[in-house]
Amino acid sequence: MTAYPGRIAAAPRRRGAGSRIAAAVLNALGLPMLLLVVWALVATRATSRFFPDPVTIAEAFVDTWIGPAFVEDVLPSLARLGLGVAASIVVGIAAGTVIGLTPWLRELLEPLLEFLRAVPPPVLIPVMMILLGITDTMKVVVIVSGAVWPILLNTIEGVRSTDSVMTETARSFRVTWWERLWFLVLPAASPRIMAGVRQALSVALILMVISEMFASSSGLGYRIAYFQRNYLIAEMWSGILLLGGVGVLLAVVFGLVERRVLRWYHGIREVNRA
């Protein structure tokens, strides 16, 4: 036995749950708080009325969105956003699975899909207005027309990349088509599918605002454009901050859902990193 005088090897202390939570909150809020301080300092020296200070915007936020505007503008926008995202997920996964599993159909549709994907969804708004009128259905269709593509294309690539050895093994054991689809193909494609859904959320939020700016009498996009046209600058900025808050909330909720759906995938990655 060898002694090492003057040196004591101590096992590193594990931080408690409270310390980890505090560190996570500090990391999440540190930069935003620093930016708010910088913004407040710059606003006190600025002379332009188009860049109000954070306190003025906070007061406008409370006066504008805490009340009837939340029911008349925010909730309808969130409902259209939710319907558009849900429809995009259903259509994208269903169509992407069929196309990914059918090589001849994939080759046949690939030029058409690339052409449609390249068309910017905002330019379709006048066409949708003619076909569907100025309705909530039109706004949901506009959201779907842009948000479906990340999900569809990622699903196709995820289905195509299913391990061929596992597929042949399942066939050799006479696993039914539905069982292969449910227990092999979709789980193998799920990381790509969830990546597509993450991209679709940001696209859907953008298209929700744009569709409401073009033709609407309510909604976040309409209200922000109204504030801009009437030079209600603090109220306009409060609407932009509300949209940012909605985006952050969507990211947090999606992160929780993704960890739940892909817990096996993240477990494998953690084992490989160990």
**pLDDT confidence band for 19 (50 / 70 / 90):** low
128-185 pLDDT, tens per residue? 888 888 888 899 999 999 999 999 999 999 999 888 888 888 888 888 888 888 888 9
Find where tokens 């009437």 sit: 230
Question: What is the number of alpha carbons within 13 Å of residue 46 lying toward its C-beta?
Answer: 13
pLDDT over threshold 60, residue 9 = no
pLDDT > 70: what percent of the chain?
Answer: 85
Find where tokens 């298209």 sit: 207
51-76 pLDDT, tens per residue? 788 888 889 999 999 988 888 889 99
Q: Tell me the C-alpha distance between 168 and 176, whole Å.
A: 12
Instruction: Report CA Rg, the chain.
Output: 25
pLDDT over threshold 90, residue 94 = yes
Q: Tell me the C-alpha distance between 172 and 262, whole Å.
A: 27
pLDDT value for 13 = 54
The SS3 of residue 209 is: helix
**Is-contact 237 245, C-beta < 8 A?**
no
Higher pLDDT, 10 or 213: 213
**pTM listed for this prediction:** 0.82
pLDDT value for 24 = 61
**pLDDT confidence band for 11 (50 / 70 / 90):** very low
Q: Tell me the C-alpha distance between 158 and 156, whole Å.
A: 5
The SS3 of residue 198 is: helix
